[in-house]
Amino acid sequence: MLNQIIILVDENTIIMPGHGPISNINDVKKLRNVIEEHYKITVNGYKNGLSINEILSQITTILKSDAGITKKDFVQNIIHDLKMN
């Protein structure tokens, strides 16, 4: 979804999300990159048998959330999805 937004907007586009501050294309790209990093590190860590704390220690970016979702919550949700599939 974030990649689709990036394709549709340009440097002058103002993005008004449902939650959080008004954004622009650079903010969307940063968010996409943070989510991708969290996801890739979590998947690799899970496949290699790492604990949640070990996975968390490898993630260097900060996931900012106005919804109160922490980095740990995000990682746990990814692991839950991996276990279901």
Name the residue ranges covered by the structural domains of the chain. Answer: 2-16+26-84
pLDDT tier for residue 64 given thresholds of 50, 70 and 90: confident
d(CA 60, CA 38) in angstroms, rounded, equals: 9
Q: Does position 65 have pLDDT exceeding 80, yes or no?
A: no
Q: Which residue has the higher pLDDT, 41 or 65?
A: 41
The count of C-alpha atoms lying within 13 angstroms of the C-alpha of 63, restricted to the half-sphere facing its C-beta, is 18
Is 26 within 8 Å of 12 (Cβ atoms)? no
Is 78 within 8 Å of 52 (Cβ atoms)? no
Per residue in 8-53, pLDDT (tens digit) is 999 999 999 887 889 999 999 999 999 999 999 999 999 999 999 9
Task: Give me the amino acid identity at 63.
Answer: L
Q: Does position 84 have pLDDT exceeding 90, yes or no?
A: yes
